[in-house]
Amino acid sequence: MPKSPNTAHIAYSDDVYSVIRHVLHAIGDIDYQCEVEIHNVDENSSDEAIKRYVKQKIRSAYQTRRQSYIDLLHTLRMHQQP
């Protein structure tokens, strides 16, 4: 039985693909930094209220930094659709 084509696959130009790779790498770096900071708070603070407060601040800054890259990926995807 023949396989149906994968409609979720989008072909990107080399330039766009390069930008997408760069953006995904940046998102990965941001994710990693957030996890390290959260881990450091967990390891170095004994006060649970302070931990929650600092972790909330870290996550808020993380979301703000990450969102511009997510928006860029969305824009690139929209420009590649027929």
pLDDT lower than 50: segments of the chain: 1-2, 4-8
A 10 A CB-CB count for 23 gives 16
pLDDT of residue 51: 93
Range of the domain at 58: 27-80
Please indicate, yes or no, if residue 17 is contained in any of the structural domains. Answer: no
Within a domain: 33:
yes
Residues with Cβ within 8 Å of 11's Cβ and at least 6 positions away in sequence, in order, are: 80
Alpha carbon separation from 36 to 3, 10, 14, 21, 70 (Å, rounded): 43, 34, 33, 22, 21
Does residue 35 fall inside a structural domain? yes
In a domain, 8, yes or no: no
Is 39 part of any domain?
Answer: yes
Task: Using a cut of 0.75, tell me whether the model's pTM lies above it.
Answer: no
Residue 69 falls inside a structural domain: yes
Domain annotation covers residue 48: yes
Q: How many domains does the chain have?
A: 1
At 70, list the tokens: 């997510």
